[in-house]
Structures are given as structure tokens and as C-alpha cells.
Structure 1
Amino acid sequence: MRIKLFIVTLFFMAFGVLFASDFRECLTKEQREWLASHPTIMYTGDPNHLPYEAFDEKGFHKGMVSDYLDIIEQKLKIKINRVPSASWLNVVQRSKEYQVDMFSDYTNDKEFEDSHILTKGFIKSPVVIVKQKRDFQPFISDLSELKKESIAVGKAYAFLKPIFEKYPSLNYIEVGTVEDVLKGVSVGKYDTAFVSLNIATYNITRHGLRNLQIVGKSDFDMELGFQIVKENAIFADILNRTFESITQEEHQSISNRWASAEAKKYMHYKYLLMLSAAVAFLILLYFIRSYELKKKIKKSTSELSKLLKTFDEHVIASETDLEGNITYASEAFCKINGYTREEFLGKSHSMIKNPDNEPQVYKELWDTIKAGKVWQGLVKNRRKDGSFYWVDTVITQNYDESGRVSGYMAIRHEATAKIELKEFSVNLEKIVQNRTDELYTLSSQQKAIFDSATIGILLLENRIIKQVNNQACKMFGYTEEELIGGTTRAICESDAVYEKVRDYYEIIREGKIASWEQNIIRKDGTFFIAKVSLKAKDYKNPLVGVVATIDDITLEHKALADMQEAKKIAEESTKAKSQFLANMSHEIRTPMSAIIGMAYLVLETDLSIKQRSYIQKIENAAKNLLGIINDVLDFSKIEAKKMTLEHKEFRLENIFETLLDMFIFKMDEKNLNMLFNIGQNVPSSLIGDSLKLSQVLINLVSNAVKFTSSGEIIISVKVAKIKKESVRLEFEVKDSGIGLSKEQIKGLFTPFHQADGSITRTYGGTGLGLSISKYLVEMMGGTIGVESEMGMGSRFYFSVKMDLSDKNKTILKHNMPRKLSSSSNLHTGGKYSDYENIANSIGGAKILLVEDNVQNQEIATELLNKVGIEVVVANNGKEALEKIDERDFDGVLMDCQMPVMDGYEATRVIREKKGFQTIPIIAMTANNTQSDKEQCFNAGMNDFVAKPIDVKNFYNVLMKWITPKIPTNVLKADLKNDMKIGIDKLKIYGVSLDKALLRVAKDEKILFGMLKRFSSSQKDGMSEVSQALKNERLQDAKREVHTLKGLCGNIEAVSLFESLQKLECELNTEILNRDLVESMITNIDEELQKVVDSINENLMIFDKSLEINHEKKVIDVDSQELKREFYILSDFFKNFDSEAIESAQNLAFNLRDFVPKEEIEHMLKASSSFDFEEANRILQKLAKDFGIDDL
């Protein structure tokens, strides 16, 4: 039965082909209608491109393309008029001017894609390599082998573009025609040619170029198709279907017709050989016919079985008996419906019947097939899952062996997509009509808006007015008819203005709106000021369409001019007021600064109790007056609205430390305590105006200190609200002072207001501080207020908004709230009483000093020894890790930049050690930026001391963090009798000795040693930097500059310090400007030599003076006391104790007349350089000379 079904199916297919012998019947109705309305097609092609096509002298078209056009005419029953062309450029011109409907072109040509549609290719030929014939010419398979040869190619042949793109480095030479290309290779003008195989064989034979041969084949093909005008896109689809209907024999026939004579000859021999082989094969078949026949029958049976299986799997077919019960269902039929074959057999087709089908369809179907006819039609079926699909169905009769109808067979083709497309087309037509109606309505509305607009609107093309609204006509004084068709020159003041407008077209080419102001000339010659705006319809080509708007802003200009004049008068008035206040404040501040400065200097001298009381009163009165002047000046800035906010990163704890520094003495006088209460989640790193925030806090704390006679002042801060990038902080200053009544609180934040007159008489002040604070708080996005009761103290509170830094940490995590003792500050001046207070606080502590520079080691050691601190020195981070385990230290002073291991890495390693998580580690570095501080904190350091060392800050930080395990209050014996040698009277070039003395707490002995060591060790400092850069050791150069900068800061060589700071910045840039760096090094070295020479010249005067004043206790060389000095010094050396330096100097003084001078100097140099191992070796050698062998 399935074989019979298959044979019947083949019969219908053959019947269909015969029925469609008129090819046009294979086309859609729409395609046939288009052909009927276009019986003649205009065509042109390349006039000289054989064997593909050409036009002869009489305009006759010939070639392979012409043969294909003949087939197209025959199949489609149309006429193709072939219009002769003079050249390929002539073809291009005619196509762009739409003089022809189609022309031949390469299928990869993109030049016409905006205006034409390319059909599929109908001629295809591989691109081959042609060269002169040579003996042993190798076959070329890779085009890159031709990179040294000249390659001739046809001009403007698009099929070669893929080769150009893949092999861009080859030497291509464009030549006019293919004939020129091949002849050029033949005569040796070019080495090689790239052409298609058809062109090569045809032209080599035609022109007798017998010295040429095809030597290789590329991976690229030349393929010809037809370019069809886009509005005839349907014709392109028709041609594609036509190409599919052309048989292989027809293609071969055309190809053979235009093959060369030699190719034809070759083909004749080929066919002869094939015929001979066929005869031989038939003879062979004759002898083995019986065997092969059986084999073929077996094979045919297998193939038929495969065909039947394929039919079953892919053809939607079914059979029924005469009652309509299903007797066969193909696999494809079961699959599309979702049922198994077993579920179908014996059932009727009603199980897939869709109720949407009209009953008339089924009546017509049964009437047709019962009448012995074939029924064909569209039916909508329902799948098992309830979904539906359409099929194009053909139903015919099945016959038994006697010729009677035994049932019916249905073959279906799924047509769902076709039906949906048809429905979509109907809906699309409705949508298009609706959109057309909407566009018409919208156009009418836009026209109404256009004419009713209150600004002038012009539509321009190439600067010619195409449309103008009513308002523009009124503005210009012209009628619409007068404006349309003219240029905008009529409304421009001059030709220059008209030409200037061209510049704005460059802006609108970028897709932007160009706006400017200019004078517009009316028809009567008057003008008005207008704001003109231009916007291109298509920014790629603005000349084709621009919208211009004209807005009369004459009145706005006049109002603006009036406002500017009024503003100018007001600013001049404010400026005069501000200038007066500034001048007055300056005139008062200058003598006040002198009064305060002189009072300070007098207080430093020996005074009687009465004199000191008078001078202190003068100093306090002057400071109060200066504070009043500062308040008045700030208030004048506020009134002039010249108060601005900075936006910089800062640390909140620095502000609290400043508050403590400012008020600690006053609080000590009044026996007050200051407490800080900082919320756990308060961020440390903020971005805002730290000075303004400090000013508010200073004003509030100043009032709290002023009005509190006993008790404490608590400064609190907590987070009110935090976001991803900002935080709102709430501050509070609470005191236990006199308090305020409700009446006194009223108006407290208004300028020049105080609680009452008695306040001014008793405590002083201007009444501006709180009003200024209120203004500053509001500038920072917050509010301020107060709560108070008489006799119960006051609570001032305010909030501010700050941005968050990326480097946030919670501050003051330990022991919060914590009291910062008033004893943690000292008065700069180096008096003995100050050192005694410090020694009482931190004396007896053991400190590990980690510092690679000898001078910095000496300064820090001297300052620490002065207050009774024991010092152990490590020269780098690696030594620090070794020594920190040897002693029980109370703290670490850590330099940041050192060789071997820097301070950051050493700190991180120390923090990882068991038992060292809480030991205070204080950074020491010459880099004092916020980012440097953050780097220290991130490494695990507790605090920061800047170099050059500020004595006051140095001791303050130590007292803040260091707590001796075994405290002592014993100062060094010589503190009360500091040596005075008059070093401050020297005049050293580039060095500020007054400031340098303050850095060492006015210890002339320390400063003398610093200067002497600087001159001896740093003379060649810049040479070392130059050598490091020359050897590409940039990090070494940075470290040398950083170290020298710190040393210059220690001795207050200000100019050198600043120059080295600039050089350090330059060395840290991403791209090093070596010329600039070398120039800077040269200048710095010249300055350094002047400083060093000046130090040497000045210090020579003091060598003898020091010897005279350096009184030492003379010890008998044979005494037990001398031996004791040896033992003590050896212990100092072994324990790396900084006391070794002074002890070595004492021993050297006693041995000066008994041992060689060179050995003494060697030991002193080693000890002063903290090379205690070398110093101890020399000491042991000297001890043996005195009979001491057990050191």
C-alpha cells in the first residue's frame, strides 16, 4: 500500500510539472500581475566584458549574459530591451538616473545598495592566477607568495575587493580593460594577473596570447547577478525563481558556447574517451550482467525502502476507507498533530477538525472526491494540545486491483505562515490607512501651532526660506510672499554677519542646536536684538533642511543692562564698605601683632612678679582685641556674601586636637577638664571645609570655657544620617557653667547680641561669634541651637553635612569617651619646667627608634634623652623586627621611607606578631599630605609626626600614646645647665637659625652637631641622586631626595627644602621629564654647596669655644673609675642604647692624651652614626691596651 501511495504521489508531482509548463504559472498571483503590467524591461550592461557580455558596433548585445536574458524572456514572456552603453561609467550613470530597470553587476558590489537590489548569482567563475609560461612553473596555492611581484587587475572590478582586503600588502596595479591586463603580462610589463577563469581562457585564445598560462587558483570567485531598481523589488524575486528553474544542461550549454576553441577541442577528446569507456563498460556488463542485475535489484529495493521511509517521515499524508476511517497515517502526519499512529487508525479525521472551518468546506470536499475528482483547498486543523495549524490539502481516490475506488488519499503541505502573512498584509493595510489619517491630523495641528507660535520660525533649505510663520512676518515687517524663496541675507545687518552664520552650521552638523544673539534688520531699516537658534532636520546634511527660531529679546537686554548697572552700584558700595573694614582691620592688626609679639618676647626674659603680671595683661588684652577684629572682618565678609566653602579632604580628629591645643592652658588655669565623646560609627576621613567647622567649634568651646569656672566641658559628635557618599553629623558642646535664661536665649544668634549688659562687662566679647557660627553652619547645610537653664550650664548643638572620603575609618575607637589630659600640651620655648612636666609624664619609657638617617637619629635621640626616655636604634625595618623582640618597649618611632624594608611593611609585620597589636607605633616622615597620613593609618600606625620635627608636637604625640611601664621623673643632669655658645648669632647662608633652634628646643649643642654633620655628610647628596638616575635606580633617587629634604627641614634651610620638595614631586610623575629633572638637580646642587660652605666657614669659629666650654671630669687612666667607664660604654654598645654617644664622648676626652687620635675619631664616628657594633670592636681594642680583657 505504501509503495502504491508513493507511486501515486510521484504521479501527482509529474502532473504538476506538466501542468506548470508555462513557467509563469509557478509564480504568485502578485508576481504574474506585475509582469503583465511591465511587459518591457530596459537593460544595459558592460560594452566590453566578453565572454560575459558586450555590445558590437551595431549595438547588438552578445555574450553569456545575453543568452541568459534570452532564457528569461522565453520563460517570463516579456521583452528585455538591451540599451547599448559606451563604457562601464555610462552604465553607472544610466542606473543612477534610473534610465534602465536592470543591469549586470558583481554580487559583492555595495555601491548601489541604497538604490538597487541584487539578485542571486547566475554566473560563477573562480579567480585564477595568470603568468607567462615557464619551464617547471610551480602551482601557486597561496596568494601571499606573490608579495614581491607586480599584479595587474581590472579597474573598478568589485569582485576583486575581497582579495584586496585579505592581502592588502600585495603590489596591485589597476589597468583599464581585461585585454590590457593580459597583454601587459604577455609582454612582461606586469608579472602576474588576477582574472576569472572564463575571462582568462576566452581572452588568451581570442587574442592568441599563447605565452600565457594559468598557474594557480585563489579561494575567491567572480559571481554575476542583476541589479534591479528597488521600487521593482518584486522583479528581483521573480528573477531568482527563474534562475532556480534553469537546468544544469542549460547552464552548461551557455558555458560551452562561449568556451575557447582549445577548450572545445579538449572537450571533444574528453567525450570520445568517455564514450570509449562507456562501450568498454557495456561489454564488461554483458559478461557479468547476471551478477550485477541481482546486485542492482537488491540495491534498488534498499533505496526504495529508504525513499518510502523518507516519504513517511517528511510528507504529511493519510489514507481512509470509503467511510472516512483512517487506514494509514504517515509519521509526519502524526508528528504535526501530536497523536500516535495507533491513536489515528480506525478513527475519522474529525478528531483534528477545527470548529473555525465552515461546514460548506467539508460538503464541497466530499461532493468533489465522491464524484471522482481531485479536491484541493486550505483547511484549518486542531492539534492534540489544542493549538491549530493550516494545511494546503490535495485529496484523491485510491483504487484496488479491479479499478474500483477503495478509499481516499490526502497529501498536505503546511500553510500556516502563508495564511498568517496574508492576514498580516490585510491588517497592515488598515494600519497604514490609520497612520495616514493620524499624520494628516497631526500635520494640521502642527500647522496651527506653527502659525500661532509667539516666536518667529523659518524653515530653510540651503539658506533659502521655504516656509515662515505669521510671527516672523510681523517681526521682520515683510509679507509671507516677500520672504519665501529669498535668502536670510535680507534680515542680516551686513554681508559679514550673513557669512558668520555659516560657522554655526558646523555646530549643527554634530547634531547639536546652535544658538547666538544678533541684530535683525526689519524691512523699514530698524532693528531688534534677537536670540537665533538653528536645528538641522538631518545633521549629516544640514543644508537640505534647517529649522530656525527667532526670539525678540530687546526688552530682556534692556532689563539686563539696568540690572547690571544697579548691581554695579551695589557692588561698588559693598566694595567700599568691605575695603574700609579691611583697611581698618589691617591698620589695627599690624600694631596689635607687634604688641603681642613684643609681649611674648618680654615674657621670655627674667621679670619681677609685678612686671610679668602687667605684661601678661597687655598680652591678653591684645589677643582679645585681635579676636574682636577677626569677628568684625568675618561678619563683613558674610554681609558682602564673599564667604565661600572649601571642598577638601580632612580628618576629624585633627580638629579635636586643635581644640585641645588652643584651650588647654586656659583650662589648666581654671582647673577644667575637656572630654571628647565620639560615636562609634563616626567616619574619620571627610570632605568639606575643615576651617569653617573648626571656627564654629572654637566659638562654642571658647564660650564654654569663658562661662565655666569649674567642672568639665564635653564635646560630642554622632552620626545623624549616613548615605553612600555623604553623612550628616550632629555636634554638641556641653558645659557646667553659669547657664542662660529663656529671655537671654532669645536673639542669641543675631549679630552684636549678648545675653545682657552684665555679660559684656564681666566676660567681654562682641556678640558676633554665635551669629557667625549660625551663618557658617547654615552654609554647611545644617542648623544650630541651644538648651540652657540658669546655673545648670548650657548645651549648644549643631548639625552639618559632609561628603565621605573613600578612606573612611571610625576614629578614636579605644576608650571612648576618653579624657585628654590638660598636661598633654607644653609651651614651646624649651624651659626646664616644661621638660620636667614631660619627664613626669613619660620619663623612664623605652622607645625603639627606627630611622635610617644618622642626623635624624641624633635629633630624635637627644630629644628623647632630655626627658628621660631610653632609646634603642634600628637602621631599617628589618633591624626593627629583630630588635623589637629583644626588649620590652613602650612604643616605636617609625620612619616611613627606608632601604631594605620600609616603615609601612615593618608596621604591618609587627601588628601580625603576637602581643604587639596594641603597642603604640608613631610614624615619622617628611611627607605631610593627607594621603600620606592615610597610608600610615592603613598600615597600622597610631599617629603621625612630621619631619622636620616640631618639638611641641613631638612631645605632645608621645605623651598622648606612651605610658612607661616603669616611670621615672629623673631628668638628665645637664638640662638645667644647657650650653650657651651663641650659635644664634651666626649668619649662615640659606639657614634660619632662630627657627632651627626652636626645632631642637633651643639646645645649641644639638644644633651645632646637626649643622656639622650636615656639612660633612650631604656635600655630595645631589651627586648620589644623579648617579642613581643615571643607573635607572629611580626608587633610590627618590629616597635620597626625600632624606635630604628632611635634613634641610631639620636645619631650616627653607629654600633648599622647597626646591627638593618640587624635585620629589617631579620624580613621582608618571612620565619623567629628564631634562627638567637634570636642570633642577643642577640648581639644587649649586644652592647646596653654598649652604655647606657657609656652614663650614661659620662653625670653624666655634670649635675652640666648644672645647673650652665642654668641661669634662678628668679621670686617672689607672683608676677603677676608668675601667667602669669602659664597662658602661660596652654595655651601651651591646644594647644599642643611645646613651652610648655621650658616654663615648666622655671616654674619648679622658683618653685623648693616651691613645692614637685616629682610633678615638674612628670610635666617635661609628657611635655617632649608630654603628654600635663597629664602635664596640674599637672599644675592645682600646681596652686591651689598658689591660682590660673581659669586656
Structure 2
Amino acid sequence: MTIRAIIKTSNLVQLGLVLLLGVCFFGLGRELREVNGLLRNFYRIDALFSELQANADDKYRLALDYVSAPSARGLKDWQNLILAERGIVARPPTSFLAGDERSLQRIADSLDLHTEGRELLQFCLDQNELLSRLTEVAVMRARGLYPDEQGGFTVEGDPQPRQALKWISDSKLALIPGKILNAGRQLRAHRYQDFLAHMSVQRHDVWWTLGFAVGGLILLALNVAAIMFTLHKRVVRPLALVGRYAEEVAAGDDPPPLRLKYGDELAGMFDSLQKMKSVLLSRIQELKAAESAAHASRQQAIRARSQALASLQIARKASTVQEDFLRRISHEIRTPMNAIIGMSYLCLQTRLSPNQSKYLSQINKAGSTLLDMFNRILDFASVDEGSLRPERTLFPLGRFLELLRRSVAAEASEKKLSLTLNAAPGLPAYLLGDERHLEEVLRILLDNAVQYTSEGGVELSVAPVRETQGKVRLRFCVADSGPGISSENQAKLFEPFVPGDMSMTRSGSGLGLGLALARHLVGLMGGVIEVDSAPGRGSRLSFELDFDLPPEEETRAPTIATGDSEDANADDGHGGERALVLVVDDNEINRQIARELLEQAGLAVAVAEDGSRAVECVRRQPVALVLMDVQMPVMDGMEATRRIREMGHSPSELPILAMTAHTDSGSRMDGRDVGMNDYLTKPVNPAALYAALEEWLPGGLAHNPMREAERPEENADGATPPAVPPSPPLHPAINAKAGLATVGGNEKLYNELLVRFVEHYGQSAAQLRDLLEHGDYRGAARLAHTVKGVAANLGVEQITELTRQMEDCLPDVPPAENLLQGFETAMAEALEQIRLLQKHNGLAATAGDMRLADEHRHALLDLLGELPQRMETDWGGVESALEAFIPLVEGTPYAEELSRVLAAVNDFNPADMAGHAELLRRHLSGDADEDRLLH
């Protein structure tokens, strides 16, 4: 056989042996897998019975210990043991089934058992469940709870530990663990015999499989040895002989021909080797030639790359020089231009002659025009270099269009042109897009329209084209009544440095960059400018752009101001847009307190009832600062802060201040971990709130009511305003001073909040008892926390302290009965005092300089004369009669005096009533005499 045939045959034999070994090892693995499954099933059954036996012993022992000596720890351990058996809580690490969170019944159903074994296992599970129910009855009796009609333990009675102990003895609970142990031993014995029987069968198959595998390995080794022997004899040895023959030829000897000396086979092999050598030499020469050519090409590529890099470096240097030139010229030109514009404006505010005012106005206007022209040159250079990129910001469309109209309203008014904004209905309130470049394009078009129109007007119209999911396409159009543009000039309208129309009917001023820049910017935003014009009928320049709608866009701009330039003088009254502060709190009263305090500081306020709405509010509109409550339904303040930070709002860009009743250091650390900047505790101190706003609000707090309140207010004539009569004293349950401080001294707001407290939480004592009776301890804890926060803000200190004590025990343990009774008493007292306060405040009137009608004065004098007698016989009628005069004296000098009389009557204080009534009667009589003298 040839060497090739030998190697081929050997490979086939080896392949067959490998397949035989694979089959043997596959069978062996299957047998081992079956054995492993038997072992795992055996051990799982053993672990289950061990767990059943241990649980039964522990369950009986814990129930007996609790009945004998009740303790919260023993009750907790017994409950955890039953809950772990049912798969409700995790098992302890010492359990035989630690890590398996299923119930014992589910674990038993997953085991592989025969019928007899499954019956024994089910018997053990039934006995264990019976033990659980019996011990539960014993424990409930020891606690004083008895079964109701539905099968639960909600009927309360006296604890009877002795009867429960006797019941345990009579029920023979101690025998159940022994039954479970005996059944487990029987099942273990059966499973052990089945395991041994199966292993004896498996052993015979395993031995046969191992025998075949060993035989295959022996045959494979013999095959390898035969191949090595054949290769040595047929290849290695002949090659060595050929080598010696070659050495003899090289040494100059004259050996016999190779064919005669070693035979035909070696001679053929030698010839083949010579041919292979010649082929290899030719291939080597070809590879060397290819390598030389590749090396030459690589050198050429390197030289070309070096030249390209040099050209690129020169181009970059030129671009840097250009950018540096533009930057330098921008600085050099803007500095004197700002001086020209600013100084001329300041000079226009002084006393000037008409000619001086005219000259300075022209200088200011020319400077503004030159600065705007220079800005457009820089923008056009940026467009030409390709460095401009579209931007994406959220902006209100209505305010954007109105500010745009105002920017050109002055020039239009100077030329006596009408400037109209026509906004179609159905426009979105907010858009996501390139606000800056859109504003620049429309400004260019409006400036050109006003510049080239001598009479008539200019109109800016905006209309929706179509709206898809999350996107809207709008059409912007600027129309004028100017001379129009011919078709020849329309072709070069957007070319740089060429004005649209050089005819006599249009001005030829300007560089001609505006419309070229507008075309580039519209193209950058994905649109095309279209022109519709003809000589004598004006011009219309329009384009369409796509914008994204903010997430959950629901609001629509109801109206956008339209009209001519004379109506464009409206302002927000604050000299600019106010900073927006977002207040997040689930309680309406707390939200109103924060809103009032912030609005007193001149801030715009948005509110959200929970964390999810706060996240959406921050996503929809720019917010300067967030006041975040921590404990809220739906989404708490911690999670809301975490999501806002994940949206990309850093603490320096969007400060978030926690505002909660929790004051512990752990809560502060949790807030800082999620990205909160600072921590304000409830009740919020206005001084602390304003100080925090001054520290964290971007740009600071421009108006601090607390600091300004420290300076005494004076009237125009320098006199200190009269003090407001104090409110009647409140019960100690309410600290009115603290409550007023929380709302910045705003008595009206404080009274409104007290009314809301009565409306929302007047029944909280009954609600709390109802929640506790139904076992809803978590709901009771939430109610106590809410009432605590509101009461603390309003200065209801007794209720604040009582609800704080309730929070200390809820939701784990219900509050004590004396604590609940104290809460009910304090709430009743607080509600009564609040009602009295509201009644008193409702009877007050404000003094002023208005004149009281004569018929009303005489009627009031008659009533004051009858007061002493009527107080003894008709106190209720006197009160009603005085209350009827309250609206009549509102704004007159007698308002405060009548309020004091009515307050004394309301308190049934005849002495004070008589004194105040006499003063009021003298005041009324003196004014009446003065009126008669004047007339």
C-alpha cells in the first residue's frame, strides 16, 4: 500500500473508534445523570421531612411557651414559622430548605414519589397543617381573640391563657410531631430500598459501558502505534538514505545511480522532492518581486499622505486665522458700537434741544443698524464655514411671536405702517425646535418688509399645515404691500451681496446678506423659502418647518395677540419674565402656603400633587427651582428627584430643596444621595425659605419680603400707618403667632387655611379610629403624618405633638387609648377656637375716608342709645342689628369702632361694650354737628 492509502485507512479507523467512545461516554453520562437525579430526589425528600419534623417541634414549643408566658418575641417567632411554611416569608439560613421560597405543599408536589410514598408524605403535610391550626386557636385564645362567622379571629374578649393551656393538653398536640416523625421514617426506609434496587440495575449497565470505552481506547492506542511504525519505515528511513546519497554526490564521490542503489521507490521520491524544490524557489522569487512592488507603492502612499496632511494643516491654519480675525474684529467693533448706542441712549434721557434729540436719535438708530449688520456678517460667515448646527429648545409660541412683533413695531410705527400678527386657531402652546434661528429668519424677513414698504402694512401669519404623532408642521408667511419684485430680480434675490431690487422703487441700501442668510438658516432647519411677488402687488415670502411637540402636549394657545404696532406695548409688569418655582406637595393647604410665600417674593409658581406630575412638569417647561415634599403617594420625593437628575438636570442647573416634616440626619443624607441641594423642615419658616431661595435660586432672590418688612413702612406724608387691631386671643392649643409666621404674617391667608383645616381634617379623629378598627395601620400612619404636617404649618401645636407620638408607634403597633382620646379632645378644642376666630374675623370692617350716609348715621345713633337696655333683654337681636351695619360702615372712619362694639357684644362684655359704644356715639354726633355747620 502507498503512504496515502495507509494514512487514509488509519484515519477511518480512528474515526470509528472515536464514534464508539462517544457513544460509550454518552451512555455513561446518561446513567450518571439518572443516578444523580435519584440522589437529589432522595436528599430533597429527606430535607423536606427534616423540615417538617423541626417545624412541628418548634411550632408546638413556641405556641406552648407563648400560652405559658406571653411575649411579643415569642408571638413573632411563631408567626414567622407558620408564614415560612406557607411560602409567605423567607426561611432562616438554619432551615433545611434555606433558599427555597416555596411553600411546603408546593415542594412536596414537585417530588418524584410512588403512590404509597406520596400518601405518607401527604399524611405528614396534613398533620403539620392540623398542628398549625390547633396552635393558632390556642394562641388566639391566649390573646383574647375568638373566631367570627367568617372563620377569622376578630371577636375580642378576655385573654384566657390557662384555658388555652388546658386546651393544648386536651387536644393532644404533643402527639402530632411524633406521628410526623414515624411517617417520615417509613417513607425514608421505602425510598432507601428503592434506591438500592435501582442502583443494582444501573451498575450492570455501567460496567458494560465502561468495558466498551476501555476497549475503544486500547484499539485507538494500537492504531496510533501502527501509524507511527509505518511512517518511520516508509518515510523517515528512506528520507535519511536519500540525504546520505545527496551528501555523497556533493562530496564528489561517484556513487552508483540512485535507482540501482536504493530501488525505484526511493528514486521516485527523490525526483518528487527536486520538483517541489524548484516550485518553491519560483514562488519565493515571485513573492519577493511582489514585496518590492508593494514597498514602492507604500512609499508613494506615504508621500501622498504627507502632502495631504501638509495641505490640511495649511487649510486648518487658514481657518484658524479667519476665525481669530472674526473674533478679534467682533470684539474691536462691538466695544465702540456698544459705547455709541449706550451713550446716545443715555444722552437721549437728558434735556436736549429738538435738533440735538433728532441727531442723537439718528446716531442711536444708525448704531443699532450697523451692529445688526455686523451680527449678520458673522452669522453668514459661520453658515459659509458649515459650523452652524440646528438647536433644540422648548419655547412658548405665543410669547415668541409677540416679542418678534414688538421688535419691529417701532420702525413700522415710525413709517406709519400697520403691523399685524395673524395666528391661526389650533396652534400648539409650546414647541421643541430651533428657536434662535427661527427668530433670526423671521426678523430678517420682517425687517426687509418694513424697510421696502412705504405705505400700507406688513403681516406675519402662522398656520398649522399638518400634525402627526408628536410632530407638527407650521407655515410661516411674511407679506407686505410694497412695490413687489420682478421675476428677474427673484432669481438673484437670495444671492449674497446683492439686494433684491436695485430699481428706483426700492432702496438699494444694505449688504444684501439678510435674505441669503435667511435661506441658509431655513435650509439648516429643513425648509425652503418660497417667493410670491410681482411688481405693483407686494411680496409674500413663506416657508414650512417641522417641530416636535413636548411630551403629553395638551394645552393649546387659546389666543395670540394680534393687531397693529400701536397695541404692542403690553408687558408683564415685572420688567421681564419671572423665575418659575415648582412646589410639589400632596397636601392642598401646604401647597397654598408655599404659593403665597413665593408669590410675595415676586416669583412665578407652578404646583404638582405628586412626584410623577413633578417629573412631567420639569420635562414640559423650564423650571428655576423645585420645592419637593418627600413623603407623597404615587411617587415620593426621593424617586422624583432621582428621575429628574437622570433627565440631565444637574444640581447646579436645577436646585431641588426638600420640604418635609422629617428632621433626622438620615433623611438629610438620603436626600443628598439622590441629588437634593438643601433641606427645609415643616413648618417652613419664611425667613429660612427666603434665605434658601437667595442661596440656591439662579440669579438670587430679587425681592425678599422678610428683609423689607424689617424696615418700618411709612405713608406718603411720612407718618407710620395705623396698626391693625389684633385678632382675639386663641386657645393655647393654637399658636397663632407661629402660624402667622409660617405664612409671612398674612392674616387673610392664615384664616383661609384654618377654614380649610376644619373642612379637610375636622373629622380626622373619627377617621383615625375607623382605620384602626379595620386594622389599616398603614392608612392610619399616613393620616397622622398628613395631619401633623398641616397642623405644624398652622401652629396647632397640641395636635402636632399628638400625631407625632402616633407616628412613633404606627404602623407596627396601634396607639394607646389615652393618646387617641387626647387627640379627639385637642381636635375638638382646636376646631371650636377656629370657628370663634372665623366668626370674629367675619365681623370686622376696614376703616377709610368714605362718608356715611345721614340716614345710616341716625339709625346707628338710635341703636347705640338702646344698647344698654337691649343687651339685658335681647342680646341676640343686638348682635344681629350691629352685624347689619358692618357693610354700611365699610370704608368709613367708624368701621373700626363699630367692630370693637360688636366684638364686646359677641363676648357678652357689657362694660367694654358700653365704653366702645359711647366713643362711637360721640364720633358720630360730632361729625353730624360739623356737617350742619358746613351746610
Higher helix share: 2
Higher strand share: 1
Q: Give yes or no for TM over 0.5.
A: no
The TM-score normalised by the length of structure 1 is 0.33
* Structure possessing the higher radius of gyration over alpha carbons: 1
Which of structures 1 and 2 has the larger relative contact order (alpha carbons within 8 angstroms, sep 6+)? 2
